[in-house]
Amino acid sequence: MSLWIWLLLACALAYAWKLMGYFVPARLLENPRMSRIAGTMTIGLLASLTVVNAAATGQSLAADARLGALAAAAIALALRAPFLVVVLAGAGAAALLRLAGWN
Amino acid sequence: MGVEPPAVRPGSEAVKLLDSPAVRVGLSISIATGLYGVSFGALSVTSGLSFWQTMALSPLLFSGGSQFAFIGVVAGGGSGIAAMSAATLLGMRNGIYGMQLNALLRPTGWRRYVSAQLTIDESTATSTGQSDPAEQRRGFWAAGIGIYVLWNFFTAVGALAGSGLGDPKQWGLDGAAVAAFLALLWPRLKGREPVAIAVACAVATVIAVPFVPAGVPILVAAVVAAVIGWFSHGRSDEGLEPDVDPYAEHDHHGAKRAAAAEGDS
């Protein structure tokens, strides 16, 4: 039940960010530092989420089939594959590596 | 016979609308983006969210990166508050997009509130890629509404398919999540600075994992990224180009035409 609360709060805050752009005077957000932080934070969070999902299991680090998924996704992206193909490449690599016995 | 004129008019309006380059780009980006709602829906239900929680995120949060962040933290065993924090920090850029779109489209009244919800990477990119104000407006609404409808539809498809999958690991769905995050990050890694930021944050994450509860390493990385942003003097829009370039295909054809014309001359 408590997950619902955080989920709805996340939705409300996401809308608050969006709405803020439309109502806050432009010069406040035009501060280059604000948009720079929005940009670096986007990169940092996505990099971190990639690593956590590839190599973390709870509070420990693990090298398993997900690293294969990471490599497969990188190859697909380098070949300019569309999003859905990249995701399928990641899933396929992890599934095949598990079939081959690497967990 | 009296029926004929009104019957013709909507038809010709629709044809006119489809003649708009921004609307065409908006619709094609809608289909491409909407389709990957399937992967969001399937990953969400296999990461521990219920069908209805998944179906609440797509219409209410409506920002792919933040939605994936929320379920990614939950899947890794993180708490609800950590999931919310990651999603919220990742949504900050939508505020900047909102400011750009507000300056560009100047929506008034209820349109402002609807525009805000439709403010995402793809609608921003489709709109700002046009130079004519009318086309900017059409591009925004075509991409925004098109993605909203298809993203929610395909989330439901994915969520239903995902619930019937059994063991998600057997299908490599945890690998799919890794791939999804890398695919969201990839287009933003243009140049040396964004790569350096990504590496620094990845390293900070790896170091933090053993010491703090699940989900928190992502927030540690956010702090590292914010500090870099605060002190760096790089371009002010680093990483803020939307993660899609709806006009890439278009430019490609343009370049081909230009090359062909050169060959002719």
Please write the tens of the pLDDT for every residue from B55-70: 999 999 999 999 999 9
Whether B2 has a pLDDT exceeding 50, the answer reads: no
pLDDT band at A16 (very low <50, low <70, confident <90, very high): very high
Closest CA to B44 of B158, B171, B170: B158
CA distance B90 to B67: 9
Chain B's closest residue to A33, CA to CA, is B230
Whether A35 has a pLDDT exceeding 50, the answer reads: yes
B24-37 pLDDT per residue, tens? 888 988 988 888 89
What mean pLDDT is predicted for residues B35-45? 91
pLDDT band at B208 (very low <50, low <70, confident <90, very high): very high
Give the model's pLDDT for residue B175: 92
B69-127 pLDDT per residue, tens? 999 999 989 999 999 999 999 998 899 899 889 988 999 999 999 999 999 999 998 99
Residue A15 with chain B: CB contacts under 8 Å = 60, 116-117
Residue A101 with chain B: CB contacts under 8 Å = none
What mean pLDDT is predicted for residues A83-100? 93
DSSP string over A32-96 = HHHHHHHHHHHHHHHHHHHHHHHHEETTEE--SHHHHHHHHHHHHHHTT--HHHHHHHHHHHHHH
Instruction: Provide φ and ψ at B154, rounded to 5°.
Output: -75, -25
B79 Rama sector, left if φ>0, alpha if ψ -120 to 50, beta otherwise: beta
pLDDT band at B263 (very low <50, low <70, confident <90, very high): very low
| Burial of B10 from C-beta contacts in 10 A (0-12 / 13-18 / 19+) | exposed
What's the domain count of chain B?
Answer: 1
Any domain includes B7 = no
Q: Across the interface, which of B102, B182, B209 has its CB nearest the CB of A56?
A: B209
pLDDT band at B159 (very low <50, low <70, confident <90, very high): very high
Structure tokens given for A52 = 């956590």
Give the model's pLDDT for residue B111: 95
Q: Rounded to the nearest 5 degrees, what angle is found at the Cα of B251, between the Cα atoms of B40 and B239?
A: 50
Any domain includes B88 = yes
Contact status, residue B228 vs residue A44, Cβ threshold 8 Å:
yes
Contact status, residue B80 vs residue B49, Cβ threshold 8 Å:
no
Lowest mean pLDDT among A75-89, B2-16, B64-78: B2-16
Any domain includes B2 = no
Any domain includes B8 = no
Q: Given the structure tokens 């010069």, which residue do they identify?
A: A27
pLDDT exceeding 70 applies to what percent of chain B?
A: 83
Chain B's closest residue to A25, CA to CA, is B99
Any domain includes B104 = yes
Across chain B, mean pLDDT equals 85
Q: Which domain covers residue B59, as residue numbers?
A: 14-249
Give the model's pLDDT for residue B61: 97
| Model ipTM value | 0.92
Whether B139 has a pLDDT exceeding 80, the answer reads: yes
Structure tokens given for B106 = 């100047």
Whether B220 has a pLDDT exceeding 80, the answer reads: yes
Q: Does B205 sit within 8 Å of A48, measured CB to CB? A: yes
